[in-house]
Amino acid sequence: MVKRFIISYIKTIILPGYSAHNKEWALEIRDKMNLGHEVVVVDWDHWKEDTNFSVKRELEKILKVIGKEEVNIIAKSVGVMVALNLIPKISSQINNEDRQDLLKVVLSKIPIENILCIQNENDKYVPFPEAEKFYHSVEPNLKVISKPRSDHDYPYPIDFEKFLNN
């Protein structure tokens, strides 16, 4: 009698912000988490070569990295936009360019308890009140937490690890 075993692989990908200094943030987050599986930091192409940022090109690269594995996503800044475009693709759904519609598609595919939004209180790009208003306009029960910082840095590996391990 031959027995077959199905092995489920899980991978976490970190989608950093636009600027090259975000690679350091992503590597630090990766190194400080203990998830018990592979954590991959995505290097944006425009960091390595003189090219414009392309969501399409980055998605193609990320889809190769993910393969057929289950995936957790940690995203910051432009990484959130990439994640919003990625999730419908891995759910075999059609993509939409509008941020609010993208979030609605994501929420239709992922249970709300599997999404956590962390926003710094006074992030220079989007302060917490604006981010919270946007997320709650799409889904009032989405968990959006504020952190007491006044910058665009998100050094919260313990929060990420705790959420992903629950």
Query: Residue 144 to residues 38, 44, 79, 124: CA-CA distances in angstroms?
Result: 26, 26, 17, 17
pLDDT at 8: 44
pLDDT of residue 95: 34
Q: Which of 62, 52, 45, 56 is nearest to 11 (CA)?
A: 62
Superfamily in which the 10-165 domain is placed by CATH: Alpha/Beta hydrolase fold, catalytic domain (3.40.50.1820)
Whether the CB-CB separation of 10 and 37 falls below 8 Å is answered with yes
Model pLDDT, residue 66: 86
Residues constituting the chain: 166
Q: How does pLDDT run across 93-116, given as a tens digit for each residue?
A: 333 446 677 778 778 878 888 888
Report the pLDDT value the prediction gives residue 127, as an integer from 0 to 100: 92
> Domain spans of the chain?
10-165
Alpha carbon 22 to its chain centroid, in Å, reads: 13
Angstrom distance (rounded) from CA 131 to CA 50: 32
CA dihedral (84, 86, 91, 96) positive or negative:
positive
Question: What residue ranges of the chain have pLDDT lower than 70?
Answer: 1-9, 91-99
pLDDT score, position 99: 66
Phi and psi at residue 163, to the nearest 5°: -65, -45
